[in-house]
Structure 1
């Protein structure tokens, strides 16, 4: 597959990667590395619960200037002759490939029809999956291609090949160790359930580091939608970070503590090394995850332009009783972001360690809940650890909670899970419905208590 074909879904929370000033994370040359900062809790049984987190034996957290990288990418898109820009307002933009079109046929067309289409558009067929095709023309614009295909009665829809760009986040240095866990009542929730091996969580992203010491035991068979194989290894880092928040091996004396202890992670790679992916591949990845047993799907990606191919995959997941969670976006704007704004999807905003709205977090009526999303430490690619900020980091907190809810009460429908998460959230400033926090900040303990007693 070619990255330039990719419908650039960019990670909404792909922000600057931070290095730690606290010694257990970033030790000066010659310092001794010690296993520090274990958290001790006591269960209802009285048995001590040791959560030894943030104990990376190699003792170093990466520092990568993702803001510079993102600025360079946006500049390239804005100035490329093959890219068209959509100005939603003075601030928020979307992009699409000038000479490409995504077409969904009502039924798979015969080869002679495809040959005729290619002749008419002076182009080529770049990719297909079931009834969805990507065509590229040597001479026609996206608008001309859309007009050509949409008049065909065998076409369900035709739309430009939209590009999703990253949302930049300005961060300070890392200041605390996994403050995010107690902020949402994680440990209290563990007294009710730590998860179940029967409830699977799909991370549809850049893939996952398959050999990471804090993730490898939690992974099940995955899928690479770009290369159409079973090797969803992460060559970017974003997907590994998202997966670690949900399921980094807990209480193993290494690295981070994930929110779930037992739920398998299905790694699905739909974005490449540069963090971009196409609607075709994202849709394909979502459908694959659903068909291979995902109970919950995390989508830490999005853009301001809705597209039919992605929405149809979201609808498919919801029809199959899957809970879908998505990040709200990081541009401090009320412009609706997709897939978070699609009906039934839990849209997640970000808060900091004081429970205040992260300054970058998007807002609006599509925000359902909020979760920690500032300076969140987690696993990264190549066996490393990193701290990132963004709603991409907030979303997997909610995804993990959904997995725990389905673990404690597997009979719940996806709509029941969504209702429990929103109704148990802790309101901010006594405001039950807010454009900045939705129904409030998630509360694991309250949600799991509610789930445990529902319909029993």
Structure 2
């Protein structure tokens, strides 16, 4: 009895059933193949076999005389009928007597012109468990379009797509949404061609199951994957795909029951490479290595096509996984393939996701209780698995490649790997580990790195006025670069050098860390009048040009020195509410938190709360703390690291045992105040006093009475899942906060 191998659709997965005798190239004794078929390969042009040129056709021209002659020669030399052949790729599918497949494979492999002979492995999708019945509708879905804001499209389900927020999609969309000329091949169960999310962006595809040009999805998996990758964005309905403007080439290799063959998958890979595809998405995989499949992968890689494949869902093992724990998956296991593992909502490893030495990246794939919302035939629905993680990486590759169209597939893959976030507690001893590869995909960082570096000119004339007591003036200019690739620059005074100086004369700038150039006028003995100067800013490496800064200096006989107060949007001066008058001391222990009942319902982002927890470490949060959590190590925002769902008045490892106190105060019905009074981090640390004022209208007022400069911690607010945040400052980087400052924050979702 012959049993089948499996390619898994993740989740669903392809199961493997117990098999008979071992098969060349198979996964031990559990290799499933199509009865009555074998595959062979040869070097095109070898042994007198004519070499036919590849074409951009998605199917074979079996009516041509050249194809028929090739089939006749192969049949004569093998003694078997040719069911199909791909002369340009040196491959054929032959008919063999049922039950004699293994014997025929051994005979064919001995022929001198044959490079491989193997079964046509069979794939079959199996759902190991039902999807959660509680997730039939998107939990926070809006039925009406909302007005889009910067970085967020107006698709009503955007708030439910935590997976794209986790990888920084909104910030990436500020840079690029892809290109209508870029093509991603989707090798799967086809696609719902009538779904409005893909309107005008589907290329004519092919159905290798039924040998026709209608790759309609009658199983559902391919459409779900496609929505994650490239659903339309800012169209006022549904979801948003990560690469919302790219074109999709749908190649159907799985039928209505989720069944398919290695031969069809390999053919689809070759045809995608021969056509216009630059990225191939394979949210599927099998347990058996195959020469036919590997040859197809190598063919695509040689044509500078990036192949992105799922690592599989068999980390825990089961009968669906061929009774193997963490088996190899193909084509993910082949060299050159960008292999993807899955994470959950909070950057934890998804415990079904394969952990292998060839994992290159991780991306959100969800778990059974927190799945991924995307397109389905005629609608939308939930799935989870490495199948859902893989299209995020394919889409990210498309965005990166759009910015650097001359790049190789390895350069694109390297950018994605080098900009990934190192998540989890497992070390990355060589820059990677088997669970997350080089880290969890961060598409925002990837596109910022790919963006061509440049120096943005400083606009306008820089003016100075000197005279009387004012003998020197300075102005600080920001030198910006839209790329995270640094530009090293040099500044030179080319006119006015006897009264104008620049500090520094050279430095570097990138998007994350803009450069600063100070122009200083004076002191000088110039006579009253108007003088002009020039500063030339030139890139050193890479050489991306430069610009000139015109400078104007006016010298007067007399001048009064005046000071203009600094005014910032949403900032004010402190109106301190003294907690010592009638505030209630909370007497918190070091690294502890206390639950408090709010005097009014408080809306934080899109949820309303009746209680909060105040921590001695300068924050309040709305969720139940994790067991043993101290929250004494601040981090920058946003982050999946708990606590999340928090207001960080000044998050730091404060120790109230060094003389500090946390007070609760309600001066009136509409304000609720928590004050951290004379808090210190260590003995000898200056006291820090600051407070949070929660207002019944939903605004937050943060007030700072005494601080150390720079501010030693994190100030901001963060959404419940750590995918959205407003960060004011983190460990000194960001907006400067000083004694007497106050600022308002309003926690609202950006969609």
Q: Is 1:12 equivalent to 2:9 in the alignment?
A: yes
Unaligned runs of 5+ in 2: 50-69, 141-159, 316-324, 453-484, 486-541, 545-751
Q: Structure 2 vs 1, CA of residues 87 and 225 (structure 1 numbering), >3 Å: closer, same or farther?
A: closer
| Corresponding residue number in structure 2 for 1:111 | 72
Matched-pair contact (CA < 8 Å) for 2:365–2:386: yes
Q: Distance in 1 between matches of 2:408 and 2:390?
A: 20
Deviation of 1:279 (Å): 1.8
Q: Distance in 1 between matches of 2:254 and 2:27?
A: 25
Q: Give the SS at the match of 1:218.
A: coil
Alignment of 1:143-292 (within 5 A): 143-166=102-125, 168=127, 170=129, 172=132, 173-174=134-135, 177-292=160-275
| Corresponding residue number in structure 1 for 2:37 | 100
Q: Structure 2 vs 1, CA of residues 450 and 224 (structure 1 numbering), >3 Å: closer, same or farther?
A: same
Q: Structure 2 vs 1, CA of residues 200 and 371 (structure 1 numbering), >3 Å: closer, same or farther?
A: same
Deviation of 1:164 (Å): 3.3
Q: Distance in 2 between matches of 1:254 and 1:8?
A: 40
C-alpha offsets along residues 425-453 of structure 1, whole Å, 9 cap, x if unaligned? 10123634111111110001111111114
RMSD: 2.8
Deviation of 1:221 (Å): 2.0
Task: Between 427-436 and 412-421, report the one with greater CA deviation.
Answer: 427-436
Q: Distance in 1 between matches of 2:40 and 2:381?
A: 39
Deviation of 1:116 (Å): 6.0
Deviation of 1:167 (Å): 6.3
C-alpha offsets along residues 335-377 of structure 1, whole Å, 9 cap, x if unaligned? 2211111111110001110111112111110111100111111
Q: Structure 2 vs 1, CA of residues 356 and 221 (structure 1 numbering), >3 Å: closer, same or farther?
A: same
Q: 1:410 aligns with which of 405, 412, 418?
A: 405
| Corresponding residue number in structure 2 for 1:452 | 451
C-alpha offsets along residues 198-230 of structure 1, whole Å, 9 cap, x if unaligned? 211111111111111112332122222334432
Q: Distance in 2 between matches of 1:113 and 1:345?
A: 31
Larger proportion of helix: 1
Number of residue equivalences? 386
Deviation of 1:169 (Å): 5.2
| Corresponding residue number in structure 2 for 1:49 | none
Q: Distance in 2 between matches of 1:211 and 1:440?
A: 36
| Corresponding residue number in structure 2 for 1:129 | 86
| Corresponding residue number in structure 2 for 1:327 | 310
Q: Structure 2 vs 1, CA of residues 348 and 134 (structure 1 numbering), >3 Å: closer, same or farther?
A: same
Q: Give the SS at the match of 1:368.
A: strand
TM-score in terms of structure 1 length = 0.78
Q: Give the SS at the match of 1:385.
A: strand
Q: Distance in 2 between matches of 1:435 and 1:132?
A: 34
Q: 1:377 aligns with which of 369, 373, 396?
A: 373
| Corresponding residue number in structure 2 for 1:398 | 393
C-alpha offsets along residues 80-110 of structure 1, whole Å, 9 cap, x if unaligned? x999899958xx9542345431111334456
Task: Between 291-300 and 446-455, report the one with greater CA deviation.
Answer: 446-455
Larger RCO, structures 1/2 (Cα 8 Å, 6+ apart): 1
Q: Distance in 1 between matches of 2:183 and 2:229?
A: 11
Larger proportion of strand: 2
Q: Distance in 1 between matches of 2:91 and 2:23?
A: 22
Alignment of 1:434-453 (within 5 A): 434-453=433-452
C-alpha offsets along residues 305-346 of structure 1, whole Å, 9 cap, x if unaligned? 111111111111111111110000011143221111111111
In our comparison, the structure showing a higher alpha carbon Rg is: 2
| Corresponding residue number in structure 1 for 2:97 | 138
Q: Give the SS at the match of 2:359.
A: coil
Deviation of 1:422 (Å): 0.7
Matched-pair contact (CA < 8 Å) for 2:178–2:246: yes
Q: Give the SS at the match of 2:40.
A: strand
Q: Distance in 2 between matches of 1:86 and 1:148?
A: 15
Q: Give the SS at the match of 2:332.
A: coil
Q: Distance in 2 between matches of 1:98 and 1:135?
A: 11
C-alpha offsets along residues 366-422 of structure 1, whole Å, 9 cap, x if unaligned? 1111001111111112x1212111111110000000000011221211110010011
Alignment of 1:294-443 (within 5 A): 294-332=277-315, 333-374=325-366, 375-381=371-377, 383-428=378-423, 429=425, 431=428, 432-443=431-442
Unaligned runs of 5+ in 1: 1-6, 16-66
Matched-pair contact (CA < 8 Å) for 1:9–1:279: no
Q: Structure 2 vs 1, CA of residues 87 and 325 (structure 1 numbering), >3 Å: closer, same or farther?
A: closer
Q: Distance in 2 between matches of 1:270 and 1:378?
A: 21
TM-score in terms of structure 2 length = 0.48
Q: Distance in 1 between matches of 2:267 and 2:252?
A: 10
